Amino acid sequence: MAQPTYKSLTILGETILPGESRTLNMEIAKLHTMTKLKIPVIIERSEIEGPTVLFSAGLHGDEINGIEIVRQLIVQKINRPKTGTIICIPVINVFGFLNRSREFPDGRDMNRVFPGSKNGSLASRFAYYLLKEIIPNVDYCIDFHAGGASRFNAPQIRIVPNNHELKALADVFHAPFALYSKNISGSFRNSCDRLGVKMLLFEGGKSLDINESITQQGVEGTKRFLDYFGMLNPKRKATNAEQKIIYIEKSAWVRAKASGLFHGLTTIGSYVEKSQILATISDPYGKVEYKVKAPNSGYIINVNDAPIVYQGDAIFHITTALENQG
């Protein structure tokens, strides 16, 4: 495999030499108490040339499981590469992390304001500096996310359709599911794609929660990813995934037809048959109970863990078309 030319690395005005380890602080704004807000950017460089890979999380401040995955990469020293450079940003949206909130204090979803603006809203400024200071140095990125609003995502990689290189990288990462999804305007993934950075988006778990199984899936997939490029720390070993990847071409949400207490009867990642009962929704008085049935056969890749749902709430995400694996 052809390796990119080993180049000097300058981030936030500081040059990091091959073989160096540095933690830089990206300071863009202060809290309303005038306290400086620092976003640590953790950089590990090998003395041997190779790609530059970014592992990022916390774009949504309440998606803690992604933050835990990147933290584990650092704690286990997986971020110390055999070749090339690894950059870790465990928490991008520090404001949201402090407030246990998805959005920035300005109410904006940072993952909808890229490429951002130097003089725009707070979220827009963060997006601007992330693309200006970090991304020009990056060849590959894995951005870690979790489900929002009590919805638990099965571990999955999301990639754009008809991109053979990303498909090959998704095969290497080997999450249980891989979902074809188009880039969304204003998203981090879309901006990285426009700048030539190959990104895998990992989804797993739910907001304000840490799930050990999801964390392990993220860590093991990352080790396989690094091993593929010859970057994995020789003190760490990549394990082969036994399960077959389910590639998803289309999927749809099942929504609650009534409000009430939600009783899920289906486990995440399971295959269900058409008309199978997925859950019941009941009133608190023991008078009414509605059955939620699968509209089609498919895999359940997202389950609502909320104890109470309202009419129209998304409660299950089910596959409707799978890629023909031959």
pLDDT of residue 29: 81
Find the mean pLDDT for residues 275-283: 98
Buried b (16+ CB within 10 A) or exposed e, 54-70: bbbbbbbbbbbbbbbbb
pLDDT of residue 26: 92
70-101 pLDDT tens trace:
999 999 999 999 999 999 999 999 999 999 99
pLDDT of residue 2: 45
Res 188 pLDDT > 90: yes
Find the mean pLDDT for residues 306-326: 92
Res 326 pLDDT > 80: no
Q: Are 93 and 105 in contact (CB under 8 A)?
A: no
- CATH H-level superfamily of 9-228: Zn peptidases (3.40.630.10)
Res 325 pLDDT > 80: no
pLDDT of residue 6: 65
The CATH code that applies to domain 249-322 is 2.40.50.100
pLDDT of residue 34: 83
Find the mean pLDDT for residues 236-265: 95
How remote is the C-alpha of 272 from its chain's centroid?
26
Q: Which long-range contacts (CB under 8 A, 24 or more apart) does 291-296 make?
A: 292/254, 292/256, 292/257, 292/316, 294/254, 294/318, 295/252, 295/254, 296/320
What mean pLDDT is reported for the chain?
94
> Please, which pLDDT band fits residue 38 given cuts at 50, 70 and 90?
confident
> Please, which pLDDT band fits residue 1 given cuts at 50, 70 and 90?
very low
Where in the chain is CATH 2.40.50.100?
A: 249-322
10-20 pLDDT tens trace:
999 999 999 99
Q: What are the residues facing 69 on neighbouring strands? A: none
Q: What are the residues facing 248 on neighbouring strands? A: 179, 322
Find the mean pLDDT for residues 293-321: 97
pTM: 0.95
Where in the chain is CATH 3.40.630.10?
A: 9-228
- Written as six digits, the tokens of 222 are 């990352």
Find the mean pLDDT for residues 169-189: 97
